[in-house]
Amino acid sequence: MSQKEMRFPEELATDVKPSQFYVIENSDIATEADLNRLIELMFLFPERDFFLYGLKEQGANHLVLSAEHHGVLRIERWETQYYPHPKYKRDWIRIDKPNPIWDWEKIVRETSPEFIRFTLKLTERWRRKTELQEALSESKKPEDKSPLVLKPSFYGVGIDLPKAWRWLKEKWKK
């Protein structure tokens, strides 16, 4: 079949953009530990999308709303008219046209509850705060008090004179 013979419904998108995303349901975030794992993932992978799905009647998870209220994350966007895919678990489809493209979409719209998709993002303030905490924890490594240095030097062993002097002072005080 040539490209001229191939026909697509005009409602379908003609461009493709590769991306990675996480599908999160309201029930996935039951405890603060679950929320903290989500926030850690959002910090480690800022280029990925995080979608939270909740029933239209219930809205977003109360822990997510609390995190948004405290400035940890934000709900960047929310979209209605999402329905669970009839064949695949944790897969969602958007059916927003009055006349569905496929017959199975009409059945899904009539038999399944409607969901809202919330797009979650970590706030810049929280990202900077986490980066600063990470940098500070790395800089607070315990200092080695031994005056011996195992670096290239005379016979492979050297002495760090400032450390040796502090070490001797501590020994003389005792």
* Minimum mean pLDDT range among 62-66, 103-107, 108-112, 160-164: 160-164
Sole residue written with tokens 């998709």? 117
Q: What percent of the chain has pLDDT over 70?
A: 79
pLDDT digits (tens, 9 = 90+) for 71-122: 999 999 999 989 998 888 888 889 877 777 788 888 888 888 999 999 999 9
Show Cβ contacts of residue 54 under 8 Å, excluding neighbours closer than 6 positions.
Answer: 25, 26, 60, 61, 115, 116, 118
Residue 14 predicted with pLDDT over 90: no
Residue 4 predicted with pLDDT over 60: no
97 or 63, which is more confident: 63
**Single-letter code of the amino acid located at 71:** G
119 or 11, which is more confident: 119
